Amino acid sequence: MALPKGLAGVVVDQTKVSSTQNAVLTYSGYPVRELKNAPFEEVVFLLWHSRLPTTNELHDFRKQLVSQMALPYETVQLMARIAREPQHPMSILRTTVSLLGTTNDVERDEPPRILAKMLTAIAAIIRIRADLPIKHVHREWGVVENFIYLFSGKRPTSDQVAMFNTVMVLHADHEFNASTFTARVVASTQSDDYSCLTAAICALKGPLHGGANEQVFRMLETIRQTKQDPIQYVKDQIARGHKIMGFGHRIYKNGDPRAAILRKIAHRLAVTTGNEAYFTLQEQIRQYMFDKTGLHPNVDYYTALIYHCFNLDRQVFTTMFAACRTAGWLAHIIEQQAEGCLIRPSSKYIGKTDRHYLTDKEENSVD
């Protein structure tokens, strides 16, 4: 039996949440390119219920999410201490999510309340680390508008809300990626939702899964600060055996469909925020990478610039990914828990065999 590295191409279970079959990303059967302008709350409802909500259901669902975008007092007090620690924000988020599972009335926490608390917690981490006061939601606003306000401290424009809404929709889910599969493994044990989310964040924290957007912007910053020629920089990195982050995808060999949508948003934001130089760099690198390697940008490539245009520090980029992906994680947790089957794969042993442990008495008797 051939065992591909990293289970590439191996079907381990069934799901109704999302699919990347034929390199087309769909949420419950709907192509994501058709959902890119749908309200984030509507897409979350779709992922959790396998159908779109009615007008009244969407209104009530949005109201429910926003009404629960508040953190328990105990959580805020503890976060005010741990968020200032000199650790990567993903480490802070990992601890915070575990903390959320121990404060307030956790027994009553259902997916809408958990998602709402996650968004607020991530925004609070960003504010606390920047020595800025934590903001509070406006009940009459939507989820995306509130989320931007909570991490930025400013009410976004309608255009900013629309663009960030698309970012959140495109990141909401992506089939059985590493963090989602990790969440499902924990969910298969019938563990609680916070334990599943903590495990997912631990997986996302690894640089081979999350963190690519942060590394993309680190590259752009380095090129600009050192005034290097971008093409020569990429050539040097490739010659040293370094990977150019933000390019290539295990599934999308002919280009990540999400990147094509995000490229337009990145360009528009770059123009309106005075970051055109960064977008120009990205375009130069994109063209060279395609000509040299045939690789296309993935979802992380343009997301990096988008987050920068929202005045976010690159260290929190992966936490923003987690904010969007929590919707999908919860959808898979719900599905796996309902399945009621423990995930327990087998392995092929390749170590030494026919070894024996002898006691001193047995060794002497052999002599």
Q: Per CATH, the architecture of 212-309 is what?
A: Orthogonal Bundle (1.10)
Residue 10 has pLDDT above 80, yes or no: no
pLDDT digits (tens, 9 = 90+) for 65-79: 999 999 988 888 889
CA dist., res. 87 & res. 89, Å (int): 6
pLDDT digits (tens, 9 = 90+) for 30-88: 999 999 999 999 999 999 999 999 999 999 999 999 999 999 888 888 899 888 888 89
Residue 168 has pLDDT above 70, yes or no: yes
Q: What is the pLDDT of residue 96?
A: 94
Q: Could you give the percent of the chain with pLDDT greater than 70?
A: 96
Q: How far is CA 273 from CA 229, 266, 269, 276, in A?
A: 23, 10, 6, 8
Q: Residue 336's pLDDT band (boundaries 50, 70, 90)?
A: very high
Decide if 256 is catalytic: no
Q: How far is CA 245 from CA 150, 155, 306, in A?
A: 29, 32, 16
pLDDT digits (tens, 9 = 90+) for 322-331: 999 999 999 9
Q: What is the pLDDT of residue 105?
A: 67
Torsion angle, alpha carbons of 257, 263, 264, 265, to 10: 110
pLDDT digits (tens, 9 = 90+) for 343-364: 998 888 889 999 999 887 766 6
What sign results for the dihedral spanned by CA atoms 307, 310, 316, 319?
A: negative
This prediction's pTM: 0.92
CA dist., res. 228 & res. 219, Å (int): 11
Catalytic residue among 174, 249, 296, 308: 249
Average pLDDT over residues 307-332: 97
Catalytic residue among 109, 173, 256, 300: 300
Cβ(144)–Cβ(162) below 8 Å: no
Average pLDDT over residues 197-218: 92
User: Which tokens belong to 183?
Assistant: 């969440």
CA dist., res. 118 & res. 99, Å (int): 11
Which residue's entry shows tokens 């987050």?
Answer: 307
What 3-state class would DSSP assign to 31?
strand
**Which regions of the chain carry the CATH code 1.10.230.10?**
212-309
* CATH, domain range 18-207+317-339: 1.10.580.10
Q: Residue 4's pLDDT band (boundaries 50, 70, 90)?
A: confident
**Which regions of the chain carry the CATH code 1.10.580.10?**
18-207+317-339
Decide if 159 is catalytic: no
